[in-house]
């Protein structure tokens, strides 16, 4: 598993070896408003796209550095609650990673993954990963360049009966999104042992 994650990271990093990408968090605007800014910049030849659907009113954008710099004043004019550049090394979860997706799928093709012992949420569809080996590999590869559907994944887990969510990665960003998705269940971060909900 560690080799798979490491290979994925290397392939993603390769996409930004000779170009600069960036990410931006936008809080307090509607999805159509954010998408409109992206479409306007794309019409001008700059790539920018919504890359994370975290919760209502909280989206991340990924794209070329020049597009990001042009997007900030346009988004600010719409009076969001917050705009923040994200401290990341590339423009993750967007079409600028199509080559990494293709190469990762080829890498996965040679591995026997097998059926998961527990259902695993797919951040591309927002549902569960398919059980078929080839289809699962396609979805895992798509996660490299497709927008993350975090809120849809959370809704899938809620419908499946989950009522406690523990964030095990660094920090508590996903825990804070959970509060805006459903306040009736427990959301907490493993690292701070705090909770909300």
Residues 181 and 134 in one domain: no
Residue 22's domain is classified under what CATH number? 3.40.366.10
Pair of tokens at residue 98: 């199509």
DSSP-derived secondary structure letter, 129: P
Which residues, 6 or more positions from 126, have their beta carbon under 8 angstroms from its beta carbon?
149, 151, 152, 153, 155, 156
Give pLDDT < 50 ranges for the chain: 194-197
Residues 95 and 167 in one domain: no
Neighbours of 189 (CB within 10 A): 22
* pLDDT given for residue 51 in this prediction: 98
Residues 5 and 71 in one domain: yes
pLDDT in tens, 82-108: 999 999 999 999 999 999 999 999 999
**Cα dihedral sign, 110-148-2-21:** positive
The answer to pTM > 0.85 is yes
User: Are 63 and 94 in contact, with CB atoms under 8 Å apart?
Assistant: yes
Q: CA–CA separation, 123 vs 121, rounded Å?
A: 6
Short-list 79, 67, 83, CA closest to 22: 67
Write the CA distances from 37 to 73, 162, 177, integer angstroms: 10, 36, 23
Residue range(s) defining the domain that contains residue 171: 163-197
Residues 78 and 167 in one domain: no
Residues 117 and 196 in one domain: no
User: Are 75 and 62 in contact, with CB atoms under 8 Å apart?
Assistant: no
Residues 87 and 117 in one domain: yes
Neighbours of 79 (CB within 10 A): 8
Count up the domains in the chain and report the number. 2
Write the CA distances from 179 to 62, 128, 188, integer angstroms: 24, 22, 10
pLDDT in tens, 127-153: 999 999 999 999 999 999 999 999 999
Residues 111 and 180 in one domain: no
* pLDDT given for residue 195 in this prediction: 45
């Amino acid at each position: 598993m560690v080799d798979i994650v490491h290979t994925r990271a290397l392939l993603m990093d390769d996409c930004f070896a000779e170009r600069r990408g960036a990410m931006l968090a936008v809080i307090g605007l509607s999805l159509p408003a954010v998408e409109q800014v992206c479409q306007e910049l794309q019409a001008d030849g700059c790539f920018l796209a919504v890359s994370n659907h975290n919760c209502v009113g909280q989206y991340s954008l990924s794209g070329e550095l020049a597009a990001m710099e042009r997007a900030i004043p346009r988004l600010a004019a719409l009076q969001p609650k917050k705009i923040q550049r994200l401290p990341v090394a590339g423009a993750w979860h967007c079409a600028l990673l199509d080559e990494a997706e293709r190469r990762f799928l080829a890498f996965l093709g040679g591995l026997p993954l097998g059926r998961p012992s527990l259902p695993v949420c797919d951040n591309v569809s927002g549902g569960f990963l398919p059980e078929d080996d080839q289809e699962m590999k396609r979805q895992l590869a798509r996660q490299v360049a497709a927008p993350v559907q975090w809120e849809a994944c959370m809704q899938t887990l809620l419908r499946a009966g989950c009522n406690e969510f523990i964030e095990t990665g660094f920090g508590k960003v996903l825990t804070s999104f959970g509060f805006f998705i459903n306040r009736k269940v427990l959301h907490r971060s493993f690292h701070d042992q705090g909770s909300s909900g």
